[in-house]
Amino acid sequence: MQPYELSVAAAAQEIRERRLSPVELVDSVLDRIEQVEPHVAAYVAVFADQARRTARDAEREAAEGSYRGPLHGIPVGLKDLIDVVGVSTTASSRTRAGHRAASDSTVAASLRAAGAILIGKTHTHEFAYGLTTPQTNNAWDHGRVAGGSSGGSAVAVASGAATFALGTDTGGSIRVPATLNGVVGLKPTYGLVPRHGVTSLSWSLDHVGPITRTVDDMALVLTALAGYDPRDPASVAVPGVGYRPRPDPDLTGVRVGVPRNYYFAHVDAEVAAAVRRAIAQLEALGARLIDIDIPMTRYIQATQWGLMVPEATAYHESTLRTVPELYQADVRILLEAGELMGAGDYLRAQRARTLIRDEWARILEEVDVIAAPAVPMTAVPSGQETVTWPDGTVESVSDAYVRLSSPANVTGVPALSVPVGRDTAGMPIGMQLLGRPFAERTLLLVGHAYERTQPARSLAPIA
């Protein structure tokens, strides 16, 4: 096995026990980037020289006994919305040409303190306003979409071009690409991971979270990221907890809610079957399955868009009026649409969110976790704009991908996506686990228990 193939947990053990140096790991990942990047275009920029210098420093620290923890010497890719001092943050947009961050974002500073090594900035759908990341190709089939908006981060992790990565999630932008590329993604509870220094799409819906190869890796990275920062008005001070799940896969006593409505409607048959098999596996591990009804489903997407569109337009007001031609057409149309929404529409969306959140809180008193498909279909061919369901319903690809992920953004609850198989074309399928606010530990426990019953997942091939 090559060093770039190691998970965070495995690489950390090798580095801690002095069988692998950070320099060897970084060199291996950089070599892998040279191999795969022409095929997938995951990165906006790769910082090879800087990464090697930092790796040499990390190796010296380890030799001197100054080991910082499980992220010491581990290469990370950061979505190009996340500020790193002295490095450009382009948001994959021409409107940000020449922009350089004056200071670290909170999450970049946390990873730096933990010893992680920045390997590069990954592509996003422009300003995170989309679900495909058109400049990046799927890790498993380069003729299919990567998913978005954190497509570059997911593809980098899935292809071995980063050991882990960070993304952002406003309507599913971590979980969608993680699912479509066969890796693990987490949208934390709103307020758990600080967003200071991260370019916003919609401040009341934005989250920052990790993309990793395993659930165990997810726990290690989340431990480094979670914390209070007063510079983020939404940040919440949560008592320190250990996120790493216990090694045994016993789920006795865990109540898993299985939706009777919404989450399995207009879902590809292979996706539904794979997720139901995974849910059955949770039951075999001791979980108790409870059928539930998802409330207020007709209002979820309208509420998501009613919040996101005007907030995004407000953020971009100045550049939209001065250099509109620099935006990609799809993003510009959405930003201009936001100017047509009135204050009354936005306030109604806020009221609807409160009602939806209250109803979800009631359901999550009855179950510990909700298990459902992460997205309704696997990665579609690049350029495909619509999907037609068996009953004749036509849905845009973007609406389809966001439909099952947006409830967690509207409510702010944590949501974890875990790979659960492949369709007949070999494309990854994911299960989504949703839980109570700040109950990430429970989600990781359930996801880890399922993962331990499955064969080890391989990285995506180069071609």
Nearest-angstrom CA–CA distance, 81 and 7: 24
Of 10, 9, 5, 11, whose CA–CA distance to 36 is shortest?
Answer: 5
Of the candidates 173, 398, 405, 406, the residue annotated as catalytic is: 173
| Cβ atoms 124, 79 nearer than 8 A | yes
Q: Which whole-number Å values give the CA distances from 249 to 110, 287, 450, in the listed order?
A: 30, 11, 7
**Pick the catalytic residue: 7, 28, 79, 110?**
79
Which of left, alpha, beta for 212 (phi over 0: left; psi -120 to 50: alpha)? beta
Is-contact 451 223, C-beta < 8 A? no
Buried b (16+ CB within 10 A) or exposed e, 173-199: bbbbbbbbbbbbbbbbbbbbbbbbbbb
| Amino acid code (one letter) for 144 | R
Q: Give the bridge partners for 372, in sequence order.
A: 432
CA dist., res. 278 & res. 157, Å (int)? 23
204 is known as an active-site residue: no
Asked about 417 being catalytic, the answer comes back as: no
Q: Exactly one of 149, 153, 200, 202 is catalytic; name it.
A: 149
CA 43 to chain centre: 16
Residue whose token pair is 């008005």: 233
68 by DSSP, 3-state: which? coil
Kindly state the tokens that stand for 264: 């399995």
* Residues with Cβ within 8 Å of residue 341, at least 6 apart in sequence: 306, 309, 310, 313
187 among known catalytic residues: no
Catalytic residue annotation: 79, 149, 173
